[in-house]
Amino acid sequence: MSSQDVLRSASTLASYNVLLQVMFRVLTFLLNAFTLRFVSRELIGVVNVRLTLLYSTLVFLSREAFRRACLSGVSGTDHSWRQVINLLWLTLPLGVLWAALLVAVWLWLLEVPDPQTVPHYGPAVVMFALSGVQELLAEPLWVLAQAHMFVRLKVVAESLAMIAKCSITVVLVVFAREWGLYIFSAAHLVYTGFLVLCYAVYFIRFLGSEVAAKKDFPLQRVGDLLPCRAAGEPLVDWTLAKLTWSFFKQSFLKQILTEGERYVMTFLNVLSFGDQGVYDIVNNLGSMVARFVFLPIEESFYVFFAKVLERGRDVKSQKQEDIALAAEVLECLLKLVLVVGLIISVFGYAYSHLALDIYGGSLLSSGAGPTLLRCYSCYVLLLAVNGVTECFVFAAMSQQEVDKYNFVMLALSVSFLLLSYVLTWWAGSVGFILANCLNMGLRISHSVLYIRRCFGSTQWKPLRGLLPSPLLILALAVSAVVTSLSEVVLCCDGGWLLRLVHIGVGALCLLAVCVAVLVTETRLIQFVRTQLLPKYRQKHT
């Protein structure tokens, strides 16, 4: 597969992933707004912070390192898929070990919620852990699908799973509210079960078919999906195994950075369960666009960079057309996330109070909710830039560089936890976002230095993507002033008519910003049209 083919496939994957994330977040958004009317803040806090943290920790630590190593390794021709499949099946016993350890911690070391307010805590912990182990059954199939760009499989599987989860949650919340945590535990088990079922059914039908033969798929039988030793070769590829170990050490630290505030809330009890619930709702609302756009782009273009770049080799010693393409894509991606992040930061400040009031009423719009969302709007900009820069860096680093970066991640993890505790004690829940901003800034600095060093002696300057045009900066600055004044004068105690006027002011300002982007960022517009919009790309490739 040529570099251009890889780019087209990665772009298609990113496009569909964005659509998938939009659907997920809209459903989750509506589901949270619905459940807020039926369950307590304490119950939401336990589900969305403590139990979700158990699940995400188990799954991330069990599979993230394997995903990164195997998707990087199979880009070459010197790795056997038989050995890759065997290596990926190690995620299951690893997940069982993590499940046993984490369930013990969650049940016996952490504070148990009041059973009158949050019933059935113990069984819910076990069920969330089981859902994580259940999802790992599909891990070899997921990596196969990602490596061969089976875009529609991921979209269909995760769509059906999310629809099933939301349907069960709504029905049980309405008709069996007394079940408490059983509602969300059962829904999560159904979600992971649907994922595994969809991947299994697809590959059972696909393997051995004419379509698989035409695509020269490396596996022929369903039995090839199970672990077994091929004649004349080791059980696993030890090069990939060592790279997996390097990523595993890094993934442990990255998980602390990603979910650091949840760990602080869970283990240090700096917020009540009710406050945790409000913080998590605001956090999810603030990260919606980040999850819509930035995460799918990061996941998809990591595959692109991993396939186009030769890990650990100097850019001058690689194919120059591949390096040129990688540099151009990196520059456009940086410009894209920068523009979107700036727009979110500017308009998020003036519309946080209104958004929370519409979404959850006074439960969210009173107290620290609006301040939290304003701070998160600024954090989204850092989150966006970091996702793309680390996406490139992790695909380009050698194993030795990955090992060295683990020490950097260790220092960042320790500093983040300390900052979270100190800043939360000083500024309440806002302290979590401030600590995230500081650490994200340090991670961006490291990645930017790596990219500059990587391309420093070449003609390509992808970091120019971090420099917006003067006209765009002016449009954003004017919009920030106008919308802030509009909020003070028109929002949010003057009735719906004034609120609609406030929304209209924001819409006009956003239109002006979009015009500035269309006029000044022509390369970015061309990249989005030709690479990220599937219908347009199909007509022009």
For residue 372, with 0-12 CB atoms within 10 Å meaning exposed, 13-18 middle and 19 or more buried, which class applies?
buried
- Residue 469 to residues 116, 358, 411, 445, Cα–Cα distance (Å): 57, 34, 35, 21
Q: What is the pLDDT of residue 16?
A: 61
Q: Quick one: average pLDDT of 30-57? A: 83
Digit-coded pLDDT (tens) for 165-181 = 888 988 898 888 888 89
Q: What is the pLDDT of residue 13?
A: 59
CB proximity list for 355: less than 8 A, separation 6 or greater: 285, 373
Whether the pLDDT of residue 538 is over 50: the answer is no
- 3-class SS of residue 470: helix
| Tokens of residue 4, six digits | 């251009």
Q: What is the pLDDT of residue 407?
A: 80
In degrees and rounded to multiples of 5, residue 43 shows phi and psi of -65, -40
Digit-coded pLDDT (tens) for 133-163 = 999 999 999 988 888 877 678 878 888 888 8
**56, 451, 398, 397: which is closest to 254 by C-alpha?**
56
CA distance 19 to 219: 30
Q: Quick one: average pLDDT of 228-245? A: 78
Return the sign of the alpha-carbon dihedral for residues 92, 93, 96, 98: negative
Q: Which amino acid is at 151?
A: V
Q: Quick one: average pLDDT of 110-127? A: 90
Q: Quick one: average pLDDT of 258-264? A: 80
H or E stretch covering 420: helix 399-427
Whether the pLDDT of residue 59 is over 90: the answer is yes
CB distance 527 to 336 below 8 Å: yes
For residue 313, with 0-12 CB atoms within 10 Å meaning exposed, 13-18 middle and 19 or more buried, which class applies?
exposed
Q: What is the pLDDT of residue 243?
A: 84
| Tokens of residue 79, six digits | 């790795």
CB proximity list for 398: less than 8 A, separation 6 or greater: 311, 312
**420, 162, 384, 161: which is closest to 287 by C-alpha?**
384
Whether the pLDDT of residue 536 is over 50: the answer is no
Q: Find which of 126-135, 227-236, 400-409 is predicted with most confidence, using mean pLDDT.
A: 126-135
CA distance 156 to 172: 24
Q: Quick one: average pLDDT of 271-281? A: 79
CA distance 389 to 404: 17
Q: What is the pLDDT of residue 540?
A: 41
Q: Quick one: average pLDDT of 419-435? A: 83
Q: What is the pLDDT of residue 11?
A: 62
- Binned at pLDDT 50, 70 and 90, residue 67 comes out as confident
CA distance 131 to 146: 22
Q: How many CA atoms lie within 13 A of 29 on its CB side?
A: 17
More confident residue, 282 or 92: 92
Q: What is the pLDDT of residue 535?
A: 42
CA distance 190 to 471: 50
Give the percent of the chain with pLDDT over 90: 23
- Binned at pLDDT 50, 70 and 90, residue 533 comes out as low
Q: Quick one: average pLDDT of 109-114? A: 88
CA distance 11 to 531: 5
Q: Quick one: average pLDDT of 515-532? A: 85
Whether the pLDDT of residue 539 is over 60: the answer is no
Q: How many helices (H) and strands (E) does the chain have?
A: 24, 0
Whether the pLDDT of residue 81 is over 50: the answer is yes
Question: How high does pLDDT run on average in the chain?
Answer: 82
- Binned at pLDDT 50, 70 and 90, residue 516 comes out as very high
CB proximity list for 108: less than 8 A, separation 6 or greater: none
- Binned at pLDDT 50, 70 and 90, residue 290 comes out as low
- Model pTM greater than 0.75? no
More confident residue, 78 or 358: 358
Whether the pLDDT of residue 500 is over 70: the answer is yes
